[in-house]
Amino acid sequence: MKRVAVLVPSFTIEYCYSLLQGVTDYFKDKDVQLIILQTKYGKYSINPIDCQYWAGMNLIDIDDIDIIIVFSGAYCSIIPESDFINILKNSTSKPIISIAVDLKLPNSYSIRINCKNIYNEIVHHLKKIHHCKKIAFLSAVGTGSPEAKERFEFFKEALKNNGLTFYSDLIYEGQFTIAGGESAIRERFEKAEDVNFDAIVSSNDYMAIGAISVLKELNVKIPKDVKVIGFDDALITRYSAPKLSTVNQDFFEEGCKTARIAEQIINGVKVDKNIYNDLVIKYRQSCGCIKESNLSEIYKNECRKTCKENQIANSFENYLTNLDEKNNLMRLIDILRSSNTLRQFHFKMKFIIEQCEMSEMYVYLYKEPVYADYERKFTFPDTIELYMYDNENTNKSEFRPGIYVKTKELLSSCCNNEKGNFIIQPIFSGEMNYGFISCKMKNTKFANYEVYLKILFKDISQAYEYTDKIIQTEKIMAEKNSLMEKNIDLQLQTHTDELTKILNRRGFLDIGQQNLDIMQELNTAGYIFFADMDGLKAINDKYGHSVGDKAIKLQASVLKTVFNEKDIVGRLSGDEFGIVALYFDISNFENLKQRIDEENKRISKEKNLPFVLSISLGYADLSLSTDLKILLKEADKNLYKEKQIKHMNRRLDIHYE
């Protein structure tokens, strides 16, 4: 049996969905194990949490993978092409089939579209049939996408081949989105009279839809005043008004063809390194070939022959609105409500995979969760434990069967040498990565599986943390007497500040982070404070460091007195303190500062200090991050503002004196 890996950034991108449908349809009756890895865009993702998906990219460098299919066009719309090529170059030496981008690697093949001929046809059509002379272009070259660059260059070449002038001021730059098309036009035009072209060709359909929307706002009539042609034949083109003329790639067939070529390469058949697919032009209402009053599902091809639309496209719309699938989601949420521990999750696994339209599920967990910093390369532990599984086909289900595997060899272990379609994705919550989940799909409704898995990730990660807390509590209770003495000694040695006898920096960050995790896990109110003594340098300079040390000790005592007993107070450096304040209501911040000031005055007088202790505070809301260090940095920013206000007030006091 052959093993094929598919790298896709997202299941919810429409053309990625169609390509996957084609790939899975071709392999459905083959002796092939298809492993689908949804990776998002790593450190290039807009949402930092999405970097967690990128962990799957580390799994492809194994001997058991025969070939890798990569949706490079989708990746390179976000990731710079050179960076993406280097990522793949350093990730695997296996054969790669790249869709839409020529990676130019020794082990890569590319499947691309023949844009040259189609742009010649579009420009020829606009000139000859619709008598257009000034044709504008909606470009996405600024995204760095190789496809965008290629489409722009072939558009310019087509103008030249058809004897039309290229006007650089008729190039409008935007993103591959409806909003991108809208902003590209809105930024350049304020009224209909300013529009100085009679046709516009777009890099993709979404940009074209956005452009049409703004042109309509300006009272530019489509297609009477301006003809519009898109690219990709997205589902939205069938329901836009007017229906958008566009270029059809037939992504489903392209997926089938990619799978067929992958099979040939695996079996030793020699194939061309660069393969091109032909395109089909669909002239609809937005260029004037079909009247707007005609509501039939038709278009005209390049020979001006009227054709019927392919009804298969409606399957995507139908599945999105399928009531049974919505009910599955509701039942899944109900099943998971009482799965507080990992064992409870396993107990319900049989029902879970039924609702998620899977035939098997394997959950692999690390011994300890791994913090994933999206700015750094993710490195997972060497080994991972098969924590639980349920297999409908073999009617087997086990909890912690004692199986450990090397994490990099996970793809070889988790699919049991069965043919079929598998999704393997990291399990994560926030910045913490817990392991991987492997699922065998019963169908190819990928967007549904993305929703199912997101729900499962949250439940598994919460069960992991809750189970871990129970285990730790049991260990502490079982070894209470001996551990108490050892913990006291350890606390004194490693966590206590020698001068103030409160937590030192290490102790505060360790214990503070633990308390922060619990606060956020239980959705408990609270704030992080960063405090800095005022004028310590002046005290040291005038009275000596022994008096300065006394001031630090007394200030630590004030903070411990004012904050609650359960709050975590630590000394971060010379005159800096950190506080994790449980249940604190920020509306009481001014009262808190007043209490600290009063206690500072009281203790300064009591200890006969030749000065009055003073300290400034900054705070951070827990909603900003789950990382204590990040929250302290945010609190430090607010502290700086507090210091500025105090400095300004002192200057005003001196002025009025």
The neighbour count for residue 372, using CB atoms within 10 Å, is: 21
Q: Cβ distance 580 to 628 under 8 Å?
A: yes
Beta carbons within 8 Å of 174's beta carbon, 6+ residues apart: 138, 139, 140, 142, 180, 181, 183, 184, 207, 210
Residue 639 has pLDDT above 50, yes or no: yes
Cis, bond preceding 223 (omega within 30 deg of 0):
yes
**Range of lowest pLDDT (355-364, 417-426, 490-499, 515-524):** 515-524
pTM of the complete model beyond 0.85: no
Locate the DSSP E strands across 392-455.
396-406, 420-429, 432-441
261 membership: H or E segment, kind and range: helix 251-266
Mean pLDDT of 483-490: 48
* pLDDT > 70 fraction of the chain, expressed in percent and rounded: 89
Mean pLDDT, range 37-55, rounded to an integer: 84
- Predicted confidence at residue 320, as pLDDT, reads 45
The average pLDDT across 639-656 equals 62
Tokens representing 111?
């499947």
Least confident residue range of 121-130, 343-352, 528-537: 343-352
Say yes or no to pLDDT of 33 above 60. yes
Q: For residue 622, what pLDDT band results from cuts at 50, 70 and 90?
A: confident
Q: How confident is the model at residue 327 (pLDDT cuts 50, 70, 90)?
A: low
CATH class, domain 311-481, is: alpha beta
* 47-51, 91-95, 113-117, 634-638: range with lowest mean pLDDT: 47-51
SS3 656: helix
Query: Does residue 296 carry a pLDDT above 50?
Result: yes
Distance CA 45, CA 375 (A): 11
Do domains 115-243+278-308 and 311-481 share one topology? The answer is no
Q: Output the DSSP codes for 235-258.
A: GGGGTSSSPPBEEE--HHHHHHHH
pLDDT of residue 215: 96
Supply 630's token pair.
Answer: 């990040």
pLDDT at 408: 86
Give the range among 91-95, 268-272, 646-650 with minimum mean pLDDT.
646-650
Burial of 534 (0-12, 13-18, 19+ CB in 10 A): buried
Among the residue ranges 39-53, 103-117, 158-172, 585-599, the one predicted with the least confidence is 39-53
What pLDDT is recorded for position 315?
Answer: 46
The residue among 369, 365, 410 whose CA lies nearest residue 388 is 365
Rounded mean pLDDT of 574-584? 90
pLDDT of residue 1: 87
The answer to whether residues 222 and 215 touch, using CB atoms and an 8 Å cutoff, is: yes
| Element holding 364 (H helix, E strand) | strand 358-371
Helix ranges, 279-340 (H): 314-320, 323-336
Question: What's phi and psi for 230, nearest 5 deg?
Answer: -100, -155
pLDDT, position 94: 92
Highest mean pLDDT among 497-511, 616-630, 639-653: 497-511
Lowest mean pLDDT among 270-274, 291-295, 307-311: 307-311
pLDDT in tens, 445-467: 888 888 888 889 888 998 898 87
- For residue 504, pLDDT over 60 is answered with yes
pLDDT score for 641: 80
Among 45-59, 61-75, 335-349, 642-656, name the most confident range.
61-75
Instruction: Report pLDDT for 645.
Output: 72
**How high is the pLDDT of residue 44?**
86
Confidence category of residue 524, pLDDT binned at 50, 70, 90 = low
pLDDT at position 474: 56
Task: Please answer whether residues 2 and 66 qualify as being in contact, where contact means their C-beta atoms are separated by less than 8 angstroms.
Answer: yes
Q: What is the pLDDT of residue 412?
A: 79
- pLDDT, average across residues 31-59: 87
pLDDT at residue 374 in the model: 58
Lowest mean pLDDT among 362-376, 484-498, 587-601: 484-498
Topology annotation, domain 496-654: Alpha-Beta Plaits (3.30.70)
pLDDT of 324 strictly over 70: no
Question: Six-digit token pair at 417?
Answer: 């040498």
Domain boundaries, the chain: 1-111+252-271, 115-243+278-308, 311-481, 496-654
What distance in Å separates the CA atoms of residue 515 and residue 581, rounded to the nearest whole number?
Answer: 10
Question: Which of 198-207, 245-254, 519-528, 593-602 shows the lowest mean pLDDT across its residues?
Answer: 519-528
Q: Which two tokens stand for residue 95?
A: 């054969």
Residue 657 pLDDT > 70? no
CATH superfamily of 115-243+278-308: Response regulator (3.40.50.2300)
Beta strands 32-38 and 306-308, pairing class: unpaired
pLDDT, residue 376, reads 64
**Poorest-pLDDT segment among 184-198, 250-264, 485-499, 597-611:** 485-499
pLDDT over 90, % of the chain: 58
What does the pLDDT read at residue 309?
86
At residue 522, the pLDDT reads 57
pLDDT for 351 equals 87
Kindly report, residue by residue over 176-226, the tens digit of the pLDDT: 999 999 999 999 999 999 999 999 999 999 999 999 999 999 999 999 999
Q: What is the pLDDT of residue 393?
A: 87
202-206, 278-282, 540-544, 625-629: range with lowest mean pLDDT: 625-629
Tell me the average pLDDT of the chain: 87
The predicted structure's pLDDT at residue 579: 95
pLDDT at 655: 35
d(CA 12, CA 26): 21
Element (H, E) at 148: helix 146-161
493: CB partners within 8 A, 6+ apart: none
Residue 347 above 90 pLDDT? no
- What is the structure's pLDDT at 373? 66
Residue 424 has pLDDT above 90, yes or no: yes
pLDDT at position 316, please?
46
Q: Residue 391: which pLDDT band, with cuts at 50, 70 and 90?
A: very high
pLDDT in tens, 242-272: 999 999 988 999 999 999 999 999 999 999 9
Q: Domain 1-111+252-271, what fold?
A: Rossmann fold (3.40.50)
